[in-house]
C-alpha cells in the first residue's frame, strides 16, 4: 500500500515530486517507439512474456517496463513487470477473484498480491532455443504459486514454438510425475518466500505455438497445465478444456491488445502498455542550445592588464555572468577572480543532469571572463552546502568543444567543495518562495477497496534566512476523497505508528502537513550535516539530525540519523499525542556501477522494533529509477500482521524525460502491498545522500554525455 499522503510528496529520493498525478497513470501515457515495440515479446494474462496463460522463454528488451490488465472468467489481474537486467525480470501482481469464498474476501471477491521472478538460462541461437526458469507467486499467499522451466524457438520467421514443465499450479493438470510432496494450503498472512514449495510436487508439461504474419498481429494456441482446481471447486469458474487460443494486436506505439478463448468456456481480454526508461520520449531533448565557447586569442590569454583594476573588472564580470546564467535557467550566487583562476558559486534549479548545468556555466564563463583566466572552478551549492568543485581548463573547453564529452571528462578534476565556494552576493538571502498546487494522496491494495485517494490543494512556502538555514511549511485542504472511509481496523501487535492513517485523513482537514526549521552544514572535508526541528511530517513532530560521510570520488557513503519524535494529533494542527519514540539508523550506500545502487539501513523503527532495510535500485542516465526494498525487524510475523514484513517497489520518473525539457522534478511512487506498523520509518524531507551524490564524480560521470548539451 502506498503510504497515504506521502507517496506523491518529496521522499528519500532525489528531486522533488509532482503532486498532481500518480506514476502508474503516467506510465499509461508513455508508449514505446515502434522500433522498441518490435523487440518486445507477447505478454500473457499474468503480465509477463508468454503465450496466453502459460509462460514462454526469452526476456523483453533490457529495462522494459510493462503494465498489464487482464480479465477472464472471475479473474482480474493487474501486473507491473520490469526487465531488471538483460536476463532477469520481476513482476508485482494484484489480483481480484470474484465468487471465491476464501478467508479475507470482501463480498465474495478475494484480493491477492504476488511477486514473480524469471531468469533466462540460455539465449536463443540458430541451433538452440531460449531457456528460462521462473518462480511465480514466490512471495505471497501461494494462490498462484508455481515454478517452470520453459524453452522457446523460432522455427522460421514469425513461427515460434514453446514447450515447458511446470510445478505447483503449472503442474496441476496432466502431470507426468512428481518431485516430492508440496504443501498446498494458502498462507493466511502471505508475504513469506515459499521456498519449501519450489520445484516440488507434481510436474506437468505445457506448450504452444504463436504465429506472426506481420509486426502487428499474432495468433496463439496453447496447451495449459493449470487445472484451476480451487476456482472450479469453490467459485463459478467452469474449466472444460486445457486448450486456449487467441489473438494479439500490437499497435505501432507498442500497446498490446489481446482477445482469448480459454479453458473451453471463458472469453478473456487484456491490454499491456510498455515503456523503457533507457529511451527518451524526445531523444536528445528539445531545450535551446547553449551559446558556443568563446575562443581567446593568444594575446588575450597572456593579458593581465585587468588586474590593475580588478574590483571594476570583477563587478562587471559578476553582472555579465549573472545575466548569462539566468538565460540558462541557472542561479549565480558568487564569484572570486584571481589572475589565472575564476571560482563561481552556482545553484542549479533546472537541470536534472548535473553535467549539463556545469557545461553551460563553463561556456558562459568563457564568454565574459578576462582572457588570462585559464582555470574555471564551478562550485555547485545545495541548501548552502558546497557539494563539489569542478575544475576545468579553459584551453580544454576551447579545443574539445566539438569532441565527445568523455574527452573533457578525462581532463576535468572533481574535488571536494569544502571551503571552496565564494561567499554569496549581498541581497540574495533571505529568500522567500511559495507555491499553490494540487495534491493527491493514494492508498492502494486495501483489502476492502483496491484504490483509495484524497485530492486537494497544498499551499507551501520556504524562507531561506541564510543559504543553509531554511524555514519550510505547507498547509493542505482536502477537496474530496475516500481515504477516511476505512472502516476495519487491522489487528496489530505493535503501537499504531502508521495504521491510523484513515484517522489523520478524516480529522486533518485542513492540516499542517509540515512546519520545520532546517540547518545544513559542512563540518569538515567529506562530511555533511542536517538538523531539522518541528512538525516533520503528517504524523510526527520532533527533532531529526543526520551526518553523512562521502568522498567526492567514491561510490561508498556512510551516514547516521537520529530522531526523537512524538505522534501528532489526528487533526494535524499543533497538538501532540502521548506516544513518543527515539528512532534512527546507520546507513551504507554503494554505487555498484552500471546504474545499480544499493542501500542498507540498520537501526530502530517508529514502533520501537530493531532491524534492517535493504534496497536495490536501478537508475538510468536520464533520471529514471526503478527499485525494490525489504525490511526485516525483530517483530514476529504474527505481530506484524498480514504481509509478514515490510516490502515494496518504488519508481521515480523524471519530468524532463517526459517533456524533453530540463527539469529537476520527478514523479515518485512507492508501491507497497500493505501499510503496517512494523519496519516503519520517519518521513523527513531533505535527507543528505540524495542531495550530495548528484554532484559527486560517480553520478556525474554517468550523465556526463550531456556536458555539451
d(CA 5, CA 26): 18
Query: What percentage of the chain exceeds 90 in pLDDT?
Result: 66
pLDDT grade for 153, boundaries at 50, 70 and 90: very high
In 3-state terms, what secondary structure has residue 378? strand
pLDDT at 188 over 80: no
d(CA 197, CA 179): 10
pLDDT at 16 over 60: no
pLDDT at 14 over 60: no
pLDDT grade for 141, boundaries at 50, 70 and 90: confident
For residues 600 and 280, which has the higher predicted lDDT (pLDDT)? 600
Taking the chain, what is the end-to-end CA distance rounded to the nearest angstrom? Answer: 40
Write the pLDDT tens digit of every residue in 297-312.
Answer: 999 889 898 888 888 9
d(CA 3, CA 142): 25
Per-residue pLDDT, 660:
78
d(CA 506, CA 482): 9
Helices 354-368 and 310-327: angle between axes, nearest 10 degrees? 140
In 3-state terms, what secondary structure has residue 165? strand
Is 676 in contact with 492 (CB distance < 8 Å)?
Answer: yes
Q: How far is CA 557 from CA 552, 583, 630, in A?
A: 10, 21, 20
Query: What percentage of the chain exceeds 70 in pLDDT?
Result: 89
Model pTM? 0.88
Long-range contacts of 124-133, Cβ-Cβ distance < 8 Å, separation of 24 or more: 124/57, 124/58, 124/152, 124/153, 124/154, 128/153, 129/57, 129/153, 130/57, 130/58, 131/57, 132/55, 132/56, 132/57, 132/58, 132/59
Per-residue pLDDT, 511:
95
Most confident range, picked from 32-41, 281-290, 645-654: 645-654
Is 577 in contact with 566 (CB distance < 8 Å)?
Answer: yes
Neighbours of 309 (CB within 10 A): 10
Per-residue pLDDT, 643:
62
Residue whose C-alpha is closest to residue 633's, from 613, 611, 608, 615: 611
CATH second-level architecture of 298-427? 2-Layer Sandwich (3.30)
Write the pLDDT tens digit of every residue in 479-531.
Answer: 988 877 765 566 667 899 998 888 888 899 999 999 999 999 999 999 999 99
pLDDT grade for 205, boundaries at 50, 70 and 90: very high
Omega before 510 within 30 of 0, i.e. cis: yes
Write the pLDDT tens digit of every residue in 39-95.
Answer: 899 999 999 999 999 999 999 999 999 999 999 988 999 999 999 999 999 999 988
* Stretch 345-365: mean pLDDT: 95
Burial grade of 375 (CB within 10 A; 0-12, 13-18, 19 or more): middle
For residues 140 and 70, which has the higher predicted lDDT (pLDDT)? 70
Q: Which of 131-145, 190-204, 428-442 has the lowest mean pLDDT?
A: 190-204
pLDDT grade for 280, boundaries at 50, 70 and 90: confident
Exposure string for 604-622, b = 16+ CB within 10 A, e = fewer: bbbbbbebbbebebbbbbb
For residues 249 and 287, which has the higher predicted lDDT (pLDDT)? 249
pLDDT grade for 100, boundaries at 50, 70 and 90: confident
Is 281 in contact with 657 (CB distance < 8 Å)?
Answer: yes
Give Dmax over CA atoms of the chain in angstroms. 95
Range 31-275 has CATH code 2.40.160.40: yes
Helix H segments across 328-460? Answer: 354-368, 394-400, 405-410
* DSSP code per residue over 484-499: GG-------SS--SST
Q: What are φ and ψ of residue 72, in 5° steps?
A: -155, 140
Cell of 286: 528539445
For residues 45 and 34, which has the higher predicted lDDT (pLDDT)? 45
Residue whose C-alpha is closest to residue 30's, from 242, 254, 296: 254
Whether 298-427 shares its CATH topology with 431-466+468-700 is answered no
Per-residue pLDDT, 449:
63
Write the pLDDT tens digit of every residue in 575-606.
Answer: 999 999 999 999 999 999 889 999 999 999 99
Is 266 in contact with 73 (CB distance < 8 Å)?
Answer: yes
d(CA 422, CA 43): 56
Residue whose entry in the numeric block shows the C-alpha cell 572535508: 525
Is 489 in contact with 676 (CB distance < 8 Å)?
Answer: no
* Stretch 372-400: mean pLDDT: 96
> What is the dotted CATH code of the domain comprising 431-466+468-700?
2.40.160
In 3-state terms, what secondary structure has residue 423? coil
Cell of 268: 478473456
Residue whose C-alpha is closest to residue 242's, from 266, 219, 215: 266
pLDDT at 118 over 60: yes
Torsion angle (degrees, nearest 10) of CA 687, 691, 693, 699: 130
> Where do the domains of the chain lie?
31-275, 298-427, 431-466+468-700
Residue whose C-alpha is closest to residue 20's, from 438, 443, 452, 436: 438
Q: What are φ and ψ of residue 523, in 5° steps?
A: -60, -30
Most confident range, picked from 98-102, 550-554, 636-640: 550-554
Q: How far is CA 346 from CA 266, 316, 388, 423, 430, in A?
A: 63, 18, 11, 11, 17
Per-residue pLDDT, 24:
46
Per-residue pLDDT, 105:
60
Is 601 in contact with 585 (CB distance < 8 Å)?
Answer: yes
Query: What is residue 569's DSSP assignment?
Result: P
Task: Say which residues have a Cβ less than 8 Å from residue 261's Cβ, sequence separation at least 6.
Answer: 244, 245, 246, 267, 268
pLDDT at 32 over 70: no
Task: Say which residues have a Cβ less than 8 Å from residue 201's Cβ, sequence separation at least 6.
Answer: 167, 168, 171, 178, 179, 180, 181, 182, 184
- Please give the mean pLDDT across all residues of the chain: 88
Cell of 102: 476464501
Write the pLDDT tens digit of every residue in 634-687.
Answer: 988 777 766 667 888 888 888 887 777 888 888 787 777 677 888 999 999 999
* Stretch 461-470: mean pLDDT: 96
| Beta strand spans in 366-503 (E) | 375-382, 385-386, 389-393, 413-415, 431-446, 449-466, 469-481
Per-residue pLDDT, 84:
94
Cell of 453: 485517494
Burial grade of 516 (CB within 10 A; 0-12, 13-18, 19 or more): buried
Q: Which of 281-290, 299-308, 335-344, 545-554 has the lowest mean pLDDT?
A: 281-290
d(CA 484, CA 507): 9
* Stretch 121-129: mean pLDDT: 95
Per-residue pLDDT, 6:
35
Residue whose entry in the numeric block shows the C-alpha cell 469464498: 101
* Stretch 154-176: mean pLDDT: 95
Q: Which of 68-82, 187-201, 387-401, 621-635 has the lowest mean pLDDT?
A: 187-201
Amino acid at each position: 500500500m502506498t503510504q497515504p499522503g506521502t507517496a506523491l510528496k518529496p521522499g528519500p529520493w532525489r528531486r522533488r515530486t509532482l503532486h498532481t498525478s500518480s506514476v502508474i497513470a503516467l506510465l499509461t501515457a508513455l508508449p514505446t517507439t515502434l522500433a522498441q515495440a518490435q523487440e518486445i515479446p507477447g505478454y500473457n494474462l499474468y503480465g509477463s512474456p508468454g503465450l496466453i496463460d502459460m509462460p514462454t522463454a526469452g526476456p523483453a528488451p533490457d529495462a522494459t517496463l510493462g503494465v498489464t490488465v487482464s480479465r477472464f472468467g472471475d479473474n482480474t489481474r493487474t501486473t507491473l513487470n520490469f526487465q531488471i537486467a538483460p536476463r532477469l525480470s520481476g513482476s508485482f501482481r494484484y489480483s481480484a477473484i470474484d465468487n471465491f469464498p476464501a478467508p479475507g474476501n470482501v463480498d465474495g471477491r478475494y484480493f491477492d498480491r504476488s511477486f514473480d521472478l524469471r531468469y533466462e538460462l540460455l539465449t536463443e541461437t540458430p541451433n538452440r532455443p531460449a531457456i528460462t526458469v521462473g518462480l511465480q507467486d514466490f512471495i505471497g499467499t501461494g494462490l498462484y504459486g508455481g515454478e517452470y522451466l520453459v524453452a522457446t524457438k523460432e522455427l522460421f520467421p514469425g513461427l515460434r514454438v514453446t514447450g515447458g514443465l511446470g510445478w505447483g499450479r503449472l503442474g496441476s493438470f496432466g502431470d507426468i510425475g512428481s518431485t516430492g510432496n508440496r504443501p498446498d494450503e494458502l498462507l493466511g498472512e502471505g508475504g513469506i518466500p515459499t521456498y519449501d514449495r519450489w520445484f516440488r510436487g507434481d510436474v506437468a508439461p505445457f506448450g504452444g505455438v504463436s504465429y506472426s504474419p506481420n509486426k502487428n498481429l499474432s495468433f496463439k494456441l496453447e496447451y495449459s497445465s493449470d487445472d484451476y482446481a480451487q476456482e472450479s471447486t469453490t467459485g463459478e469458474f467452469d474449466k472444460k478444456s486445457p486448450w486456449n487460443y487467441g489473438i494479439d494486436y500490437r499497435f505501432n506505439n507498442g500497446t498490446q491488445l489481446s482477445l482469448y478463448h480459454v479453458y473451453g468456456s471463458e472469453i478473456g481480454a487484456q491490454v499491456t502498455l510498455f515503456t523503457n526508461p533507457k529511451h527518451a520520449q524526445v531523444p536528445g531533448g528539445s531545450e535551446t542550445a547553449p551559446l558556443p565557447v568563446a575562443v581567446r586569442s593568444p594575446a588575450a590569454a597572456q593579458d593581465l592588464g585587468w588586474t590593475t583594476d580588478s574590483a571594476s573588472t570583477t563587478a562587471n564580470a559578476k553582472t555579465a555572468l549573472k545575466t548569462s546564467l539566468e538565460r540558462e535557467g541557472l542561479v549565480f550566487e558568487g564569484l572570486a577572480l584571481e589572475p589565472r583562476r575564476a571560482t563561481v558559486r552556482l545553484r542549479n534549479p533546472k537541470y536534472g543532469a548535473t553535467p549539463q548545468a556545469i557545461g553551460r556555466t563553463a561556456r558562459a564563463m568563457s564568454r565574459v571572463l578576462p582572457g588570462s583566466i585559464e582555470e574555471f572552478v564551478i562550485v555547485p551549492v545545495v541548501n548552502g552546502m558546497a557539494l563539489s568543485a569542478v575544475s576545468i581548463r579553459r584551453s580544454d573547453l576551447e579545443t574539445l568543444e566539438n569532441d565527445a564529452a568523455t574527452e573533457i571528462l578525462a581532463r576535468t578534476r572533481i574535488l571536494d567543495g569544502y571551503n571552496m565556494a565564494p561567499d554569496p552576493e549581498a541581497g540574495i538571502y533571505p529568500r522567500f518562495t511559495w507555491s499553490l498546487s494540487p495534491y493527491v494522496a493514494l492508498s492502494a491494495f486495501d483489502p476492502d477497496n483496491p484504490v483509495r485517494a484524497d485530492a486537494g490543494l497544498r499551499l507551501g512556502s520556504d524562507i531561506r534566512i541564510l543559504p543553509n538555514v531554511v524555514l519550510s511549511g505547507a498547509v493542505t485542504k482536502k477537496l474530496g476523497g475516500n481515504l477516511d472511509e476505512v472502516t476495519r481496523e487491522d489487528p496489530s501487535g505493535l503501537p499504531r505508528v502508521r495504521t491510523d492513517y484513515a484517522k489523520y485523513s478524516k480529522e486533518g482537514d485542513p492540516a499542517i502537513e509540515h512546519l520545520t526549521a532546517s540547518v545544513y552544514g559542512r563540518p569538515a572535508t567529506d562530511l555533511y550535516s542536517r538538523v531539522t526541528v518541528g512538525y516533520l511530517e503528517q504524523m510526527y513532530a520532533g527533532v531529526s539530525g543526520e551526518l553523512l560521510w562521502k568522498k567526492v570520488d567514491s561510490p561508498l557513503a556512510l551516514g547516521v540519523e537520529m530522531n526523537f519524535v512524538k505522534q501528532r494529533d489526528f487533526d494535524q494542527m499543533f497538538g501532540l499525542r502521548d506516544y513518543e519514540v527515539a528512532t534512527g539508523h546507520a546507513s551504507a550506500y554503494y554505487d555498484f556501477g552500471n546504474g545499480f545502487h544499493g542501500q542498507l539501513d540498520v537501526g530502530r523503527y517508529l514502533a520501537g522494533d530493531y532491524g534492517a532495510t535493504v534496497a536495490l535500485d536501478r537508475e538510468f542516465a536520464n533520471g529514471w529509477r526503478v527499485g525494490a526494498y525489504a525490511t526485516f525487524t525483530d517483530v514476529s510475523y504474527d505481530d506484524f500482521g498480514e504481509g509478514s514484513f515490510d516490502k515494496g517497489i518504488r519508481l521515480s520518473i523524471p519530468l524532463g524525460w517526459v517533456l524533453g525539457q530540463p527539469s529537476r522534478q520527478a514523479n515518485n511512487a512507492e508501491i507497497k502491498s500493505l501499510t503496517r506498523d512494523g519496519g516503519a520509518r520517519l518521513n523527513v524531507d531533505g535527507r543528505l545522500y540524495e542531495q550530495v551524490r548528484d554532484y559527486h564524480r560517480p553520478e556525474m560521470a554517468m550523465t556526463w554525455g550531456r556536458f555539451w548539451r
